Amino acid sequence: MRVLSWFGGLFIVLAIAIAAIASVAHQRADGSHALAAAKHPVALDIAAQAPDEGIKPRLTRPSPTPPTVEAAPVQAAPAAAQPAPPAQAPPPPPRAVAVGSTQQALINQDRAANGLGPLTWNGCLLNVAAGNAQRIAAQRYLSHTNGPQVDLGCGLGHQAGENIGKWCPGINDGQVNVLFMNSPEHRANILGPYHYVATDWVMGSDGCGYIAVEFS
């Protein structure tokens, strides 16, 4: 009976040993598979897989090119304003003298109609006429000063006379001659005992024409 018990115990020990050896061998086989699987590069496994149709790959888009910003051109600071030059008094307006006046011709017509000789144009008398015409145009009214006395200074004779007039607007030799001939005093100068004459028109700032007629 002791022998059987001993054999029985030996059998149990052998059975346990065989089971332990089989368990170790199984664990070694499983461990080799795991390491082998771990050797596959993860990236290679993912690349080999078909993409999931329900998930769109996220693409990294380059950042948009920043818009070009054009810098405004640098403008130079405006130069300091130069002080304006002091205002100068405007020059006196030029004297508007009638060119081609027919007053002398009208006077000679009147003299011829009355049996008198023509009057000759004289430069010295013209200077006197110009001064008087400018004076009455500036003052805008008619007045005599010393015209006849100045006429005598030209040395053309011992007698002198002067007619002055105003016409608005502008200059009108014919109408002024009619006015002169309708005035006894002015008519007397036109038909007087003279040999020389000069006339001058000046336009006034009021738009009227002023005339001076000098006789000697």
pTM beyond cutoff 0.85: no
pLDDT score of 11: 52
For residue 189, the domain's CATH number is 3.40.33.10
- Flag whether 186 is in a domain: yes
Instruction: Give me the amino acid identity at 13.
Output: V
Q: Could you tell me which of 143, 138, 188 has the C-alpha nearest to residue 165?
A: 143
Using a 10 angstrom Cβ sphere, with 0-12 exposed, 13-18 middle and 19 or more buried, the burial of residue 8 is exposed
Q: Which helix (H) or strand (E) holds 121?
A: strand 120-121
Q: Is the pLDDT of residue 184 over 90?
A: yes
- Flag whether 65 is in a domain: no
pLDDT score of 154: 95
- Flag whether 60 is in a domain: no
- Flag whether 66 is in a domain: no
- Flag whether 125 is in a domain: yes
Number of CB atoms found within 10 A of residue 97's CB: 14
| 93 vs 196, more confident | 196
Confidence of residue 33 (pLDDT cuts 50, 70, 90): very low
Instruction: Give me the amino acid identity at 66.
Output: P
Structural domain boundaries, residue 135: 102-112+119-215
**Residue-wise pLDDT tens digits, 124-152:** 999 999 999 999 999 999 999 887 888 89
pLDDT score of 149: 87
- Flag whether 76 is in a domain: no
**Residue-wise pLDDT tens digits, 3-26:** 445 555 555 545 444 444 444 344
> Structurally, how many domains does the chain consist of?
1
- Flag whether 158 is in a domain: yes
Question: Which range, of 44-48, 89-93, 117-121, averages the lowest pLDDT?
Answer: 44-48
pLDDT score of 87: 61
Q: Is the pLDDT of residue 113 over 80?
A: yes
- Flag whether 145 is in a domain: yes
